[in-house]
Every structure is written in structure tokens, then in C-alpha cells.
Amino acid sequence: MMPGQQLRAIREALGLTLKDVESASAVIAEKYNNQEYAIPASRLSEIETKGMLPSIYRVYSLALLYRKTVEEILSVFGIPLGNLAEDISVTHPPKSHILSVSDEKRMVEMPLRFDPGFDMRKTTNMGRMVEKWGTVPLHFLSKFARTHYTYGYVGTDDLTLYPLILPGSFLQIDESRNKIQEGGWRSEYERPIYFVETREGFVCSWCSLVGNQLVLQPHPLSPVPIRLLKHPQEGEVLGQVVGVAMSLGDSGNVELEQFLAKQQILNPGV
């Protein structure tokens, strides 16, 4: 069925006429003092029979009047909001930033039963270890969430911890660990990594405090210099990075290689 036909089927299943929708949407328009929410009967007929696309305001009105979510109405027109997490990798913002948390009303596919031979100590193919998958509302998983976690993204221009943390990586940040640990690690892999908010944006970096100065310490192989910021006026530690998801051996690193080449030209000693 075409989008207009699907909308018509939904309307008729509810027993609503074109005039019913026109009258009800006029109430919504009056409430929000915006006539864009109103759906005249003639326009709704064009949406149903001639492929006319509704505006964002009318999508809201349709969702409300048809007892659907905005996502469900948009899906009628082929807009897959459920693929937001999957499609997020099509763009690579140059600056590091905080990621918005997904809507808890969404559903998620997750493992419901594992193979009895699954051993967390061993590297394994997770797909082969899952015996049963199921669809679960995300709000059912909220009890397992730690509210002091937030999530970040390392921008394609943020080479502070390259090559330990690659640009384009996703970070899990424990906001309860926002105090800088001085020493006590045996290697760079044990050294705490922090997510820092500065006046210019966010940075994923090693950190130390020298008096009232926050030192952003890059990886020794990184082309980024050490940065000194007044603490906390110019730089504030949001939390410690406790999880990293990054792609290895991705052909999409051409942009990274070009950026590094440019850095080499600008800084021949690096």
C-alpha cells in the first residue's frame, strides 16, 4: 500500500471522516496558536490519494488523531527512525561531543539465552553463542543502567590519544569518576583516560593537575601538543572513560590518513 492508502486505512479503521480530522486538527492548531497543525479535508484527501507529503506539524496532528506515535506515522512514509543508531556512522563530526541517550520507549533486540558453553574469559563469536534473541522495550532494561554513565564520541579531528583511541570511537564515561588519579598505573593501557569539556568543545585525553592548571596530556605518537587549561574555568573533567568501541582496519580511515599527512606537513618534527 502507498503511504496515503495506509493513512486512509488507519483513519477509516478508527471511524474518522475527513471532516472529523479537519475539526480535531483545528483544535490542535488553536491550542498551539499555529495553523500549520490544521489539516483541511481537501489537503488530507490529497495526502491520501495524490501522494502529498504532510508537514512536520501535520505529522504530529496525524499521530495524535490516529493514536499512533510520530515514529509510526513517519515509518508510513519510509523514514526508519528505528535505524538511527545503525545509521549514525554515515557522518563523522570533526569535534568530540556528548551523544544523546536513546528514547526508552524504543525496542531493542537482545540475547535472551546463551549457549551453556559460553565462557566470558574466552574470545568468542557472540553470534554463535546466542541461542535465542528477543525484542525487549528499553525501559525494561533501565534497572540495569547506571545513571552516572554518559556516552561520548571522539571527533575525526581529535587525535589527542591517537593511536590508542582512534578518531570516530564511541566512549562510555563514568561521571562518578571525575577526580583525576595521579600515578599508580603500570602502563599506558592502565592510565585513566578522561573526557574533558573545554571552552572549545570536548577532548578525550590523559590528564593531570599542576596547581590550578589542568594538563591535557596527548599520546606520545599523537601530533597534538600538550595543552594547559585553568581548572575548572577553562577545562572540566566530566568523567573517566570506562568503555571504548572503535573500528579497526576500516578502509574509512582514509580521512584520518589524510589528516595525519597534513599534520606531518605542518609539523615536520612530529
pLDDT, mean of residues 50-63: 96
Class of CATH domain 3-79: mainly alpha
Place of cell 525496542: 107
Contact 125, 188 (CB under 8 A): no
Q: Would the CA dihedral through 111, 166, 191, 121 be positive or negative?
A: positive
Place of cell 527512525: 81
Query: pLDDT (tens digit, 9 = 90+) per residue, 217-233?
Result: 999 999 999 999 999 99
Domain residue extents for the chain? 3-79, 149-266
- The percentage of residues in the chain with a pLDDT greater than 90, rounded to a whole number, is 54
Question: How many whole angstroms from its chain centre is CA 228?
Answer: 30
pLDDT, mean of residues 174-179: 92
Indicate the pLDDT class of residue 151, thresholds 50, 70 and 90: confident
Answering whether pTM is above 0.75, one says no
- Superfamily, domain 149-266: Umud Fragment, subunit A (2.10.109.10)
Helix/strand number for the chain, H first, E second = 8, 10
